[in-house]
């Protein structure tokens, strides 16, 4: 039974939770300073954000944004666990979403099959795009950081070219979009309705993307593969010490390629919540550049842990959504960007501190088991005997 | 305090004046543990004073206290008769105490001179006084016979030279008392002799040396007095003339101990490993392992003697399939050409790497995951494509028990263990799963006497059951004691064979440096056995 129970070490868990909380506090403090300098009350600003972000309509928005962020961060985290920096999630997600939209609109299939087809196209395109960087690294020793950044630009240019009326898009109401996917390829969402605060009538607050369930399943799969399979062990071993992994029999080249493909495949899913749940066609305004980079920040904040990443995604979504109210209140909404930036910086520092503290405390524990206090009678007995 | 450790009277000791360093009742507690307890130590000026003890006995903590890296909770430190309190190593240096660390702290891409002055640069006005520094360095080098040239880059120096640079660096800062932490761990016998000569010079000039080691024969050779430390406290101070290595070792572990001698031959005529014409090349295409041919039979330990860096690591890695090589490797009749490392492991090749931190462990992973490393595809660690956590954990508990890995739990990370305990875990892991061939590079390096004996026992037992072992070790006594046959490697070639039943460490040492009758690249000469 024991293997199904995660080892719970209250000390370690406490430290692990403390770090991001500490980082948040630092970020809040720094943002407060900036707000004070700009002559705004931090208390008012935070209060406004909190009250606004709590509204059911905004909760829907936060979850919807968060589901994309979550996938993006998972894609980054797969690389991170292996010491690979997939900076190209941004390009992979956009090019995958674009191809999926075009392909989805071009075919007619019965309901679930249609969705599966669209998702499969996205996964394959994302994996292929990331795989280019993987191949370059394995066969030519090109750093994946450089190649994925370059592929971002190439991908962005390709999307810009493809999404024009001359190629795959159409111009409707002054907006350039790819053709709309037939309704069989829409992923049903969860409609949330209720009586708003102070209201009497029941209203629909909004629709949570149904794909959020798939995001959750991907998160569970990520956890399972990494911590419960031999493949995951190899991947983590390669990440923590390549020479040790090689000596243990891991084929590192193959590992690089596989994890790059996996990372790209998950990156391909990033655009699916919005494509299948709301947009139903590809247009640049719905699939902005930058979600891939946000994923890097969220993966760092969530420490490559799926639960941590889930919380971090929601936090990011909340910050994104609630900055709208600041604008309305005349408070510069850039404060949220400052906060997001400082949170990432602070969390990196906090995690390193926590790591050192826990290593030190562990070493003390080991030390105490290696040696007992020298009131041990053996000491006296033997030194006496050696006279 | 009736249980206060006794000390030999100083009447026979060389010192009658004020001791250079005196520690009284030093106690250091870490939360939940006493690292040092009532440590008492008197080091006479102008002597070499050795401190011996097992890993984790508290030698390092004591030296950190003496060097100002940690402060004692109780007790006093006196230098030249006056009490001192050290807050940082800088305070200790000011009081004339210098430390030569086991792992050199030198910048490879700077010259000797730059390394020596780094941190205490001599200035003339605004400028660095290079000439003054050079004069001072050459002066110190001549005075103490260190033979250090100030100009080459440190990366071009050998290990022994680097060590002398470290010593010079400490002297340059005005140290009168030198702490040497395991100084011989990285040296070959000839270099050890040179070091000991240098220590005699230092002594003759009135300097004091505190020599930390667990190589007892060396301690007996070089020290004027020896203090044994066990379980955090000083057990006894003896004169080298009073004790034998065996007696000293027993003081260290507090019990009787075994020797590395293997009783009877278990060599069979069944070849477990046949290597023919194995050649490994470096990036420039030069051979680092050159046309090596050897056979190890089931139940045989083949020892490879050689100065580190003569191709031993590459030879082992080639047999593991980590490094591309020419020539053939045949394991129990199966040609391993093109067989990847993982498959070689499952075919029964076990590997205790030379550099355990780099190749043997995942430092940030718990012990039970480290148990899986290298064996992640086979039971009890795996079940199909899944990790068998329960199996791996249970088996880790077994290794911890059988190999006496001192740890509070199997969930601590590998980095928390001391080097000796890490090594025990690795050896235990590699001996699991009934291997056919063990490639063991320095299997007892950094391991204390008690654990060393335990590892030897395990090796002997496995050998009796038909395990073939390729043993690489810098500990010549271990090589001679454990091996059924010996070969000497020099610049990638096997240059000599030796019979472990007759060869002496000195013979082996000179063969290793090519000083014997063998000329470079000449045919294998049967030296050693004839002296």
Which pLDDT tens digit goes with each residue over B452-502? Answer: 888 888 888 888 888 999 999 877 778 888 888 999 988 888 988 888 888
Give chain A positions within 8 Å (CB) of B360: 244, 247
Greatest pairwise CA separation for chain A in angstroms? 101
Token pair of B353 as six digits? 């790497």
Residue B34 has pLDDT above 70, yes or no: no
Residue B410 has pLDDT above 80, yes or no: yes
Q: Which of B385, B404, B439, B446 to mutate to test the interface with A (most CBs of A within 10 A)?
A: B385
pLDDT of residue A385: 35
Q: Which of B408, B411, B447 to mutate to test the interface with A (most CBs of A within 10 A)?
A: B408
Chain B residue closest to A229 (CA)? B386
Of B33, B345, B375, the CB nearest to A364: B33
Banded model confidence at residue B11, pLDDT cuts 50, 70, 90 = very low
E strands, B336-383, in order: 349-352, 382-383
Does A387 sit within 8 Å of B362, measured CB to CB?
A: no
Which range has the worst mean pLDDT, A293-302, B2-11, B146-155, B352-361?
A: B2-11
> Of all residues in chain B, what percent carry a pLDDT higher than 90?
16
pLDDT of residue B4: 46
Kind and range of the H or E element at B344? helix B341-346
Q: How far apart are CA B301 and CA B298, in angstroms?
A: 9
Q: Which of B227, B236, B412 to mutate to test the interface with A (most CBs of A within 10 A)?
A: B412
Residue A21 CB contacts under 8 Å (≥ 6 apart), including other chains: none
Give chain A positions within 8 Å (CB) of B30: 364, 367-368
Q: What is the mean pLDDT of chain A?
A: 85
Residue B511 has pLDDT above 80, yes or no: no
pTM of the model: 0.72
Q: How far apart are CA B63 and CA B40, in angstroms?
A: 13
3-state secondary structure of B258: coil
Among the listed residues B408, B426, B288, B294, the one whose alpha carbon sits nearest the alpha carbon of residue B356: B426
Tell me the average pLDDT across B355-370.
Answer: 88
Q: Are residues B525 and B506 in the same domain?
A: yes
Give chain B positions within 8 Å (CB) of A382: 250-251, 254-255
Among the candidates B145, B174, B203, a domain finishes at B174
E strands, B391-509, in order: 437-441, 468-472, 485-490, 493-498
Could you tell me whether strands B271-281 and B287-297 are parallel, antiparallel, or unpaired per DSSP bridges?
antiparallel
Tell me the average pLDDT across A198-210.
Answer: 84
Residue B173 has pLDDT above 50, yes or no: yes
Q: Are residues B336 and B268 in the same domain?
A: yes
Residue B348 has pLDDT above 50, yes or no: yes
- Rounded to the nearest angstrom, the minimum Cα separation between B144 and chain A is 38
pLDDT of residue A186: 87
Q: How far apart are CA A287 and CA A54, in angstroms?
A: 25
Chain B residue closest to A228 (CA)? B387
Does B416 sit within 8 Å of A366, measured CB to CB?
A: yes
Among the listed residues B486, B418, B474, the one whose alpha carbon sits nearest the alpha carbon of residue B445: B474
Give chain B positions within 8 Å (CB) of A352: none
Tell me the average pLDDT across B151-156.
Answer: 85
Does B412 sit within 8 Å of A234, measured CB to CB?
A: no
Cα→Cα distances A174→A156, A160, A171, A280, A281, Å: 21, 16, 6, 17, 15
pLDDT of residue A5: 41
Q: Are residues B270 and B337 in the same domain?
A: yes
Q: Are residues B262 and B250 in the same domain?
A: no
Of B35, B58, B361, the CB nearest to A244: B361
**Cβ distance A274 to A68 under 8 Å?**
yes
pLDDT of residue B370: 92
Of A236, A247, A359, the CB nearest to B320: A247
Give chain A positions within 8 Å (CB) of B406: 366, 369-370
Does B365 sit within 8 Å of A240, measured CB to CB?
A: yes
Residue B32 CB contacts under 8 Å (≥ 6 apart), including other chains: A364, A365, A368
Q: Are residues B270 and B252 in the same domain?
A: no
How many domains are contained in chain B?
Answer: 4
Q: How far apart are CA B460 and CA B444, in angstroms?
A: 14
Q: Are residues B397 and B489 in the same domain?
A: no
pLDDT of residue B530: 37
Q: Are residues B182 and B81 in the same domain?
A: yes
Q: Are residues B45 and B76 in the same domain?
A: yes
Banded model confidence at residue B518, pLDDT cuts 50, 70, 90 = very low
Residue B388 has pLDDT above 50, yes or no: yes
Q: Are residues B83 and B232 in the same domain?
A: yes
Of B232, B255, B363, the CB nearest to A382: B255
Residue B349, class by beta-carbon neighbours within 10 Å (0-12 exposed, 13-18 middle, 19+ buried)?
buried
pLDDT of residue B16: 54
Among the candidates B208, B225, B257, a domain finishes at B257
Among the candidates B174, B193, B213, a domain finishes at B174
Residue B356 lies in a domain: no
CATH number of the domain at B59, please: 3.40.50.300
Residue B23 lies in a domain: yes
Banded model confidence at residue B14, pLDDT cuts 50, 70, 90 = very low
Does B6 sit within 8 Å of A244, measured CB to CB?
A: no
| B292 vs B265, residue with greater confidence | B292
Token pair of A219 as six digits? 């998160």
Does B230 sit within 8 Å of A237, measured CB to CB?
A: no
Banded model confidence at residue A376, pLDDT cuts 50, 70, 90 = very low
Rg (CA), chain B: 25
Q: How far apart are CA A344 and CA A332, in angstroms?
A: 20
**Cβ distance B306 to B261 under 8 Å?**
no
Chain A residue closest to B391 (CA)? A3
pLDDT of residue B217: 78
Q: pLDDT, tens digit, for every residue of B283-302?
A: 878 888 999 999 999 989 99
Residue B353 lies in a domain: no
Give chain B positions within 8 Å (CB) of A231: 385
Q: Is B355 left (phi over 0), alpha (psi -120 to 50) or beta?
A: beta
Which residue stretches of B32-188 are H helix? Answer: 59-66, 89-94, 112-117, 130-143, 159-172
Chain B residue closest to A360 (CA)? B416
Token pair of A217 as six digits? 């399943």
pLDDT of residue B418: 76
Does B359 sit within 8 Å of A244, measured CB to CB?
A: yes
Q: How far apart are CA B97 and CA B93, in angstroms?
A: 5
Residue B355 lies in a domain: no
Chain B residue closest to A368 (CA)? B33
pLDDT of residue A164: 86
**What are all long-range contacts of B499-502, with beta carbons under 8 Å and residues at least 24 apart?**
B499/B528, B499/B529, B500/B303, B502/B528, B502/B529
The DSSP call for residue A40 is -
Residue A6 has pLDDT above 60, yes or no: no
> Of all residues in chain A, what percent carry a pLDDT higher than 90?
45
Give chain B positions within 8 Å (CB) of A5: none
Does A240 sit within 8 Å of B363, measured CB to CB?
A: yes
- In terms of residue numbers, what domain contains B373? 361-429
Could you tell me whether strands B21-30 and B33-43 are parallel, antiparallel, or unpaired per DSSP bridges?
antiparallel
Which range has the worst mean pLDDT, A49-63, A164-178, B23-37?
A: B23-37
Residue B354 lies in a domain: no
3-state secondary structure of B358: helix
Of A3, A365, A368, the CB nearest to B389: A3
Q: Which of B36, B389, B403 to mutate to test the interface with A (most CBs of A within 10 A)?
A: B389
Does A368 sit within 8 Å of B345, measured CB to CB?
A: no
Q: Are residues B439 and B379 in the same domain?
A: no
pLDDT of residue B2: 41
Does B56 sit within 8 Å of A371, measured CB to CB?
A: yes
Rg (CA), chain A: 25
Sign of CA dihedral B15, B16, B17, B18: positive
Q: Are residues B292 and B380 in the same domain?
A: no
Which range has the worst mean pLDDT, A50-59, A133-142, B27-36, B297-306?
A: B27-36
pLDDT of residue A262: 95
Does B33 sit within 8 Å of A368, measured CB to CB?
A: yes
3-state secondary structure of A288: coil
Q: Are residues B87 and B167 in the same domain?
A: no
- Rounded to the nearest angstrom, the minimum Cα separation between A355 and chain B is 10
Residue B1 lies in a domain: yes
Banded model confidence at residue B9, pLDDT cuts 50, 70, 90 = very low
Banded model confidence at residue B438, pLDDT cuts 50, 70, 90 = very high
> Of all residues in chain B, what percent carry a pLDDT higher than 70?
89
Does B387 sit within 8 Å of A233, measured CB to CB?
A: yes
CB pairs under 8 A between A and B: 163
**Cβ distance A267 to A72 under 8 Å?**
yes
pLDDT of residue A379: 36
Token pair of B47 as six digits? 């002597």
- Torsion on CA atoms B140, B142, B148, B149, rounded to nearest 10: 100
The DSSP call for residue A375 is T
- Rounded to the nearest angstrom, the minimum Cα separation between A220 and chain B is 15
pLDDT of residue B265: 74
Residue B63 lies in a domain: yes
Give chain B positions within 8 Å (CB) of A248: 341-342, 345, 373-376
Chain A residue closest to B439 (CA)? A247
Q: How far apart are CA B417 and CA B408, in angstroms?
A: 10
Q: pLDDT, tens digit, for every residue of A89-120?
A: 999 999 999 999 999 988 888 888 999 999 99
CB burial of A215-235 (b: ≥16 within 10 Å; e: otherwise) equals: beebbeebeeebebbbbbbbb
> Of all residues in chain A, what percent carry a pLDDT higher than 70?
91
Residue B227 lies in a domain: yes
Q: pLDDT, tens digit, for every residue of B159-169?
A: 788 888 888 88
pLDDT of residue B30: 62
Residue B334, class by beta-carbon neighbours within 10 Å (0-12 exposed, 13-18 middle, 19+ buried)?
exposed
């Amino acid at each position: 039974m024991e293997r199904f129970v995660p080892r719970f070490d209250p000390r370690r868990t406490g430290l692990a939770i403390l770090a991001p909380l500490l980082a948040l506090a630092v970020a809040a403090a720094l943002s407060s300073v900036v707000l004070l300098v700009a002559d705004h009350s931090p208390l008012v600003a935070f209060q406004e954000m909190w009250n606004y972000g709590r509204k059911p309509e905004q909760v829907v928005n936060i979850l919807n944004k968060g589901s994309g962020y979550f996938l993006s961060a998972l894609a980054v985290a797969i690389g991170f666990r292996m010491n690979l920096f997939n900076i190209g999630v941004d390009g992979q997600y956009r090019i995958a979403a674009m191809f999926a939209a075009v392909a989805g609109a071009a075919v007619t299939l019965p309901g679930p099959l249609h969705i599966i087809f669209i998702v499969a196209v996205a996964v394959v395109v994302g994996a292929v795009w990331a795989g280019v960087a993987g191949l370059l690294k394995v066969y030519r020793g090109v750093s994946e950081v450089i190649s994925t950044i370059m592929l971002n630009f190439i991908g962005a240019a390709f999307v810009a070219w493809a999404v024009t009326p001359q190629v795959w898009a159409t111009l409707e109401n002054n907006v350039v979009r790819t053709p709309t996917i037939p309704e069989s390829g829409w992923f049903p969402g969860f409609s949330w309705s209720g009586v708003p605060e102070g209201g009497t009538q029941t209203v629909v607050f909004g629709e949570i993307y149904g794909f959020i369930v798939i995001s959750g399943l991907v998160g569970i799969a990520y956890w399972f593969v990494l911590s419960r399979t031999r493949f995951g062990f190899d991947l983590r071993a390669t990440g923590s010490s390549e020479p040790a992994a090689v000596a243990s029999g891991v084929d590192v080249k193959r590992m690089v390629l596989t994890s790059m493909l996996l990372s790209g495949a998950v990156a391909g899913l990033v655009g699916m919540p919005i494509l299948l749940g709301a947009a139903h066609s590809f247009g640049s305004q719905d699939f902005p550049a930058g979600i891939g980079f946000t994923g890097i920040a969220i993966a760092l904040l969530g420490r490559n842990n799926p639960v941590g990443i889930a919380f971090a995604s929601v936090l990011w979504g909340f910050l994104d959504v609630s900055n709208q109210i600041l604008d309305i209140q005349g408070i510069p909404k850039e404060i949220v960007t400052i906060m997001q930036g400082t949170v990432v910086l602070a969390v990196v520092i906090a995690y390193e501190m926590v790591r050192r503290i826990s290593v030190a405390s562990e070493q003390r524990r080991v030390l105490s088991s290696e040696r007992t206090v020298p009131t041990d009678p053996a000491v006296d007995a033997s030194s006496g005997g050696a006279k | 305090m009736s249980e206060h450790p006794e000390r030999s009277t100083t009447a026979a000791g060389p010192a009658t004046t004020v001791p250079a360093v005196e520690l009284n009742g030093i106690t250091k507690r870490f939360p939940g543990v006493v690292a040092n307890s009532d440590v008492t130590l008197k080091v006479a000026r102008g002597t070499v004073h050795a401190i011996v003890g097992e890993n984790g006995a508290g030698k390092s903590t004591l030296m950190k206290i003496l060097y100002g890296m940690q402060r004692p909770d109780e007790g006093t430190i006196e230098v030249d008769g006056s009490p001192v309190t050290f807050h940082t190593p800088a305070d200790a240096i000011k009081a004339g105490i210098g430390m030569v660390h086991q792992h050199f702290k030198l910048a490879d891409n700077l010259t000797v001179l730059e390394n020596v002055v780094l941190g205490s640069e001599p200035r003339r006005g605004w400028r660095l006084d290079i000439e003054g520094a050079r004069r001072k360095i050459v002066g110190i080098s001549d005075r103490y016979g260190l033979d250090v040239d100030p100009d080459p880059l440190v990366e071009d120096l050998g290990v022994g030279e680097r060590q002398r640079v470290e010593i010079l660096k400490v002297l340059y800062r005005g140290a009168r008392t030198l702490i040497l932490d395991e100084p011989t761990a990285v040296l070959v016998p000839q270099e050890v002799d040179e070091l000991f000569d240098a220590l005699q010079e230092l002594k003759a000039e009135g300097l004091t040396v505190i020599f930390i080691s667990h190589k007892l024969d060396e301690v007996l050779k070089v020290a004027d007095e020896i203090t044994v430390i066990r379980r955090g406290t000083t057990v006894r101070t003896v004169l080298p003339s009073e004790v034998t290595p065996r007696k000293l070792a027993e003081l260290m572990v507090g019990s009787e101990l075994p020797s590395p001698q293997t009783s009877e031959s278990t060599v069979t005529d069944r070849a477990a490993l046949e290597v023919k014409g194995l050649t490994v090349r470096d990036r420039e295409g030069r051979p680092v392992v050159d046309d090596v041919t050897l056979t190890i039979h089931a139940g045989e330990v083949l020892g490879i003697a050689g100065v580190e860096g003569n191709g031993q690591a590459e030879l082992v890695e080639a047999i593991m399939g980590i490094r591309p090589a020419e020539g053939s490797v045949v394991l129990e009749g199966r040609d391993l050409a093109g067989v990847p490392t993982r498959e070689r492991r499952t075919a029964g090749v076990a590997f205790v790497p030379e550099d355990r931190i780099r190749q043997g462990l995942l430092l940030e992973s718990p012990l039970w995951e480290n148990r899986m490393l290298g064996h992640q595809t086979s039971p009890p660690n795996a079940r199909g494509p899944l990790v068998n956590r329960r199996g791996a954990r249970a088996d880790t508990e077994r290794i911890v028990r059988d190999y006496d890995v001192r740890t509070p739990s199997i969930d601590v990370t590998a980095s928390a263990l001391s080097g000796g305990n890490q090594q025990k875990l690795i050896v235990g892991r590699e001996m699991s799963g009934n291997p056919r061939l063990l490639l063991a590079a320095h299997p007892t390096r950094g391991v204390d006497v008690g654990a060393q004996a335990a590892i030897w026992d395990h090796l002997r037992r496995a050998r009796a059951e038909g395990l073939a072992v390729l043993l690489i070790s810098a500990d010549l006594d271990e090589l001679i004691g454990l091996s059924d046959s010996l070969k000497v490697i020099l610049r990638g070639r096997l240059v000599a064979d030796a019979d472990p039943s007759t060869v002496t460490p000195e013979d082996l040492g000179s063969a290793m440096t090519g000083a014997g009758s063998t000329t470079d690249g000449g045919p294998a000469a049967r030296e050693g056995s004839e002296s």
